[in-house]
Amino acid sequence: MKIGIWRQRIGYGISDLACNLIWQMISLYLMFFYTDVMGLNALAVSAMFVVTRVIDGVTDLLVGYCIDKTNTRWGKSRPYLLFGAIPFAVCAYLAFSVPDLSANGKLIYAYITYFLLSLCYTIVNIPMASILPSLTSDTQERTALASSRMFFSFVGSTAVSSFALVLVAFFGKGNQALGFKSTMLLFGIISSIIFFISFFNTRETVQVVQEKVTLKKALKSLSTNTPWQLFALNIIFMFGAIFIQSGALIYYFTYYVGNASLGAVVATISSFVPLATNFLVPYLSKKLGKTKLFLIGSGIHIVGMIVILIAGTITPIIIAGAFISAFGLGLKQTIYFSMQADPVDYGEWKTGINAAGTLSAVNGFIGKCAQAIAGGLSGALLAAGGYVANASQTSEAILAIKSLYLIIPIVLTVCSMITMKFYKLDKIYPQIKEELDARNAIAVETINE
């Protein structure tokens, strides 16, 4: 049964609202929770991030392969949203709980719960990417769907940035451990409900006719997919910068600026401003092209970070820089998710293999590697700088924090821009789309005869 365009746009978009209520908590506060609330050593936490993210990256490939092999009356990707919602919420609650164990026991507990949380995130997040080519074959509608996804993603991010620490204080009443646990319980319940709503308001309607795909064939098809290879390299730079900066935010404003409340304001700006830029993306991408818009957004993002770096501890300039940075981030993140579906079509056009699930999974694996590197680097730099939780920091520790929040993200974003300068799929995509539509129409007619 077909559903209305706007119903599906909203239904698809809110899936990332559900994800971000939990994932934004992880990005902004999990490192801080481990070091300052659970009392774990920063270097031990960095090692844990590297180990668990790399292992979890392998599960991305397995989940993607399972999606490609799945065939149900609900489609390939939708069932994972339905059955993954509650486990995702439960694991989020457990990850932000402090067990009554020894230091080593707490570290083992963190390893287990963080891995399970990452696995559940994979189960609900990869289908959000793999489902997009099945929702529509129209490139502009894909951009509209991606814009809807990013709009609601930013709604989730804004909610967490604005209210998470307020809720922690409200529920905890001075006990941060209780506050974080209670806040995650609330976000988990809301997230599950939203995932269920998303499931019932999306439909996989695009028919793709092809031979059965083995994992070996799917992975081999990626070896000849040059646009995807560039896109994959960009994931490391782009998300490496985002993960490193997000994790360092609370340290930067607590220990360098000396105003943790301002950190919450900047986090809110970083989530709220992209809500507005999100509405511009469909129009701008049509006028400029996806790649050019990505590069422009990245450039604006860099300018904003440089302004914050120059500002030091001057609040008005920091806020101005945050607005500029958030505007650029909103442009590039939104168009990124629209671009993600295009290499799938290129691969099918070139090899005859539609490996949407596997490609999304490999993208997820690379993203997990970027996050592993970000988490490992963050903990290692904090430890090397002599960071001590809940204490005055040395100049070396402050330099490490500034590097994590601004200097390293600027360098990685420049690398991202250089990579995407070589991405040329925009120019040939209309021809690819026309040939694929004709090919699939003939195949469907043949089957129906």
In this prediction, residue 215 carries a pLDDT of: 65
User: pLDDT by residue (tens digit) across 206-257?
Assistant: 765 555 666 677 777 777 888 888 988 999 999 999 989 988 998 999 999 9
Catalogue all structural domains in the chain, each as residue range(s) with its CATH number: 11-202+210-448 (1.20.1250.20)
- pLDDT of 444 > 60? The answer is no
- pLDDT of 341 > 80? The answer is no
Name all contacts of 217-220 with Cβ < 8 Å and 24+ positions apart: 217/353, 217/355, 218/65, 218/68, 218/353, 218/355, 218/358, 218/359, 219/358, 219/362
In this prediction, residue 171 carries a pLDDT of: 95
Q: How confident is the model at residue 14 (pLDDT cuts 50, 70, 90)?
A: very high
- pLDDT of 27 > 90? The answer is no
Selected residue with higher pLDDT from 189 and 354: 189
Task: Give percent of the chain above pLDDT 90.
Answer: 45
One-letter amino acid of 303? V
How much is the average pLDDT of 55-65? 79
Query: In 3D, which of 281, 282, 288, 284 has the Cα closest to residue 330?
Result: 281
- pLDDT of 48 > 80? The answer is yes
Pick the most confident of 42-51, 417-426, 432-441.
417-426
User: Measured between alpha carbons, how far is 407 from 403 in angstroms, rounded to an integer?
Assistant: 5
Indicate the SS3 state at residue 75. strand
In this prediction, residue 209 carries a pLDDT of: 52
User: pLDDT by residue (tens digit) across 148-182?
Assistant: 888 898 889 889 988 998 999 999 998 999 999 99
User: pLDDT by residue (tens digit) across 395-406?
Assistant: 999 999 999 999
Helices (H), 340-394: 342-351, 356-384
How much is the average pLDDT of 31-45? 89
How much is the average pLDDT of 90-111? 94
**Token code pair at residue 14:** 């809110």
- In this structure, of 40-44, 74-78, 209-213, 225-229, the range with the lowest mean pLDDT score is 209-213
One-letter amino acid of 256? Y
In this prediction, residue 55 carries a pLDDT of: 80
User: Measured between alpha carbons, how far is 80 from 124 in angstroms, rounded to an integer?
Assistant: 6
How confident is the prediction for the chain on average, in pLDDT?
A: 87
User: pLDDT by residue (tens digit) across 267-295?
Assistant: 889 888 887 887 888 889 888 989 999 99
Instruction: Report CA-CA distances (Å) from 343 to 282, 338, 354, 361, 398.
Output: 19, 11, 10, 13, 41
In this prediction, residue 449 carries a pLDDT of: 54
How much is the average pLDDT of 53-71? 79
In this prediction, residue 447 carries a pLDDT of: 47
- pLDDT of 383 > 50? The answer is yes
